[in-house]
Amino acid sequence: MEFEPVIGLEVHAQLLTESKIFCGCSTRFGAPPNTQTCAVCTGMPGVLPVLNARVVEFAVRMGLATGCSIRRFSRFARKNYFYPDLPKGYQISQFDEPLCRAGELRVEVDGRARTIGIHRIHVEEDAGKSLHDQDPDASLVDLNRSGVPLIEIVSEPDLREPREAYAYLTKLRQILVYLEICDGNMEEGSLRCDANVSLRPRGARELGTKAEIKNLNSFKGVEAALHFEIERQASLLRAGRRVLQETRLWDAVRGETRPMRSKEEAHDYRYFPEPDLVPLAISDAWLREIEGALPELPDAKRVRFEAEYRLPAYDASVMTSSRALADYYEAAVAAGGDPKLLANWILTEVLALVHERGLEIEGSPVGPQALSELVRLVSKGTLSGKMAKEVFAEMVRTGDNAPAVVERLGLRQIRDPGELGAVVDRVLAGSAAEVEKYRAGKTSLLGHFVGLVMKETRGQANPGEVNRLLREKLEGRG
Ligand SMILES: [Zn+2]
């Protein structure tokens, strides 16, 4: 029997606010343990939370960007559970009245577009962090993260294969980063993902029993864990056995999922409305203000790049893969230069350079203006493509601009007909036999003559001009 996987993802994104969700403590990552805490986020008795408006604004941005309807009146809820890193004994979250719901995200896998439903996006606070490897005799608790704002984005079970889940996560991350509400760093925990997976006979409508996979801390990990889990469930079902509804942990080292101890998953959260917070109301004016300030999103930008700069789909999708790269590209185009040629240079030399050095595009040793200057020299014919690569390498090495490097290295393309004509004459005079053959009809010898001229000029001759002059002289029009 053939099975169809059904996958849903729950993604927690840490919001990039300066302060925590219910107090004024800093959210800065990497501070010494317990230095960014106060009575509120350590859960002291008698304190009252005050909602950070920025958190709501950021969550609404994500809701609008994914086509969700925004609930104008929503309530917070207490999610009760005991854990050492949760001093209050409950987490303030949203339960039956999430801020955003019923949105969607378009993903593309192998050129095939699919729309994945977003069930809901809600706001909540993060818990602290237990540290088990600092002290051999004890577990320690760091509450710096306690009260850091999160949104949880819950997809519909619309994903059908691990590659789609990967594409969905990539797109989600791209939008979060475009909106400047999350840094998207999965390795540092700013983006966390749990996956629900079940199998059903292909063509069936009913859902099978699902397993929830936790501890997915990289994009590749999500894909690998899904592959493993689908295979595991399929072999159970093929053997006529049942899939248990359970929570499983992904073990990236062993490349397998395994069940969590039942103690870890015994959840009865006893949700009830948070009595310390008034319901959250969002006015028309505020909603319009947030909507008006939304940046151009990746899909819209890609379409615009294709139309405005006449870029092929692939180029446009890479140029808009991040807002920073799109800004770099547009700054280069604005500084002058052929848009397609600039895209080629960024796709090859510039991205190779920043990847090789582990930099972000903003840190590229060759900035957009400098790149535009170089590319214009290529368009003008001053430099051949090959020379331009040499100049680029030298710009990276010295930090000089293209004209200065060209001047210093004496790198200049020869295209002056007089200067080049003299070289062509010399070459033809030295190859009388080949010239005879050419004139007798062996026109394939043209390449041979071009090669000789290039050699003579140490590659500095303009190939188009060399071709033109050779033809002219060989065919007796010179
Ligand atoms: Zn605090």
Ligand 1: centre distance to CA 73 (Å): 26
Given a contact cutoff of 8 angstroms between Cβ atoms, the answer to whether 413 and 387 are in contact is yes
- Share above pLDDT 90 across residues of the chain, in percent, rounded to a whole number: 54
DSSP β-bridge partners for residue 7: 159, 197
d(C-alpha 9, C-alpha 100), whole Å: 16
The token pair at 378 is: 């290529």
Ligand 1: centre distance to CA 147 (Å): 7
The model's confidence at residue 262, banded by pLDDT at 50, 70 and 90, is: low
Read off the pLDDT of residues 158-214 as tens digits, 9 standing for 90 and up. Answer: 999 999 999 999 999 999 999 999 999 888 889 999 999 999 988 888 888 889 998
Ligand 1: centre distance to CA 21 (Å): 9
Ligand 1: centre distance to CA 132 (Å): 23
Taking 60 as the threshold, does the pLDDT of residue 263 lie above it?
A: no
pLDDT, the chain, mean: 90
- Which residue is it, tokens 């394939």? 444
Helices (H), 51-202: 53-65, 162-178
Ligand 1: centre distance to CA 144 (Å): 8
Question: pLDDT at position 386, please?
Answer: 82
Span 427-445, mean pLDDT? Answer: 88
Read off the pLDDT of residues 86-112 as tens digits, 9 standing for 90 and up. Answer: 999 999 999 999 999 999 999 988 888
Taking 60 as the threshold, does the pLDDT of residue 64 lie above it?
A: yes
Ligand 1: centre distance to CA 48 (Å): 11
Helix axes 446-456, 432-439, angle to 10 degrees: 150
The model's confidence at residue 9, banded by pLDDT at 50, 70 and 90, is: very high
Span 34-42, mean pLDDT? Answer: 95
Q: In terms of Cα–Cα distance, which of 335, 409, 322, 328 is closest to 365? A: 328
Ligand 1: centre distance to CA 55 (Å): 15
Taking 50 as the threshold, does the pLDDT of residue 471 lie above it?
A: yes
Ligand 1: centre distance to CA 148 (Å): 9
Question: pLDDT at position 330, please?
Answer: 94
The side-by-side arrangement of strands in the sheet containing 272-273 is 90-93, 77-80, 272-273
Ligand 1: centre distance to CA 283 (Å): 28
Ligand 1: centre distance to CA 75 (Å): 22
Taking 50 as the threshold, does the pLDDT of residue 236 lie above it?
A: yes
Ligand 1: centre distance to CA 30 (Å): 16
Span 308-325, mean pLDDT? Answer: 93
Span 123-144, mean pLDDT? Answer: 91
Taking 90 as the threshold, does the pLDDT of residue 245 lie above it?
A: no
Other beta carbons less than 10 A from residue 258's beta carbon: 10
Ligand 1: centre distance to CA 50 (Å): 11
Ligand 1: centre distance to CA 102 (Å): 33
Burial 273-287 (b: 16+ CB within 10 A, else e): ebeebeebebeeeee
Given a contact cutoff of 8 angstroms between Cβ atoms, the answer to whether 374 and 353 are in contact is no
For the ranges 39-43, 178-182, 277-281, 438-442, the lowest mean pLDDT is seen at 438-442
Read off the pLDDT of residues 289-298 as tens digits, 9 standing for 90 and up. Answer: 999 999 999 9
Taking 70 as the threshold, does the pLDDT of residue 266 lie above it?
A: no
- For the chain, the straight-line distance linking the first and the last C-alpha, in angstroms and rounded, comes to 77
